[in-house]
Structure 1
Amino acid sequence: MVGKWTCTMTMKNPTLQDQGVYKVVATNKNGTHSVEQNYVLSCTANEVFKTQ
């Protein structure tokens, strides 16, 4: 048992190139634990058009 930790990855201005599988590895004196996380960019946008 390595321990319980929460890790948050914050991506600023993500793009389609940032999609993929990210692997997080935690190591201490008790051992090593790794987690793979899939990341897929999903974006929704509401566009407002103004006419003069």
Structure 2
Amino acid sequence: MDVYLGHEFIRRATVETVTEDGHIIWLAAEGQYTRTLIDDAEGYALWVAPANSLKKVA
């Protein structure tokens, strides 16, 4: 998933957990990023990244 805050790209991430109502999402820890809570009420949006653009994060 591509994570945006407003129109600004934040990071590409794997979704770990989603609340039943879909308003809160946990992103998995990857590379330099720790496990992160995303709340759509704060203006975050997630978009599906094209499969051919996904790269393994070291």
Structure 2 length as normaliser, TM-score? 0.27
Structure 1 length as normaliser, TM-score? 0.28
Structure that is richer in helix per residue: 2
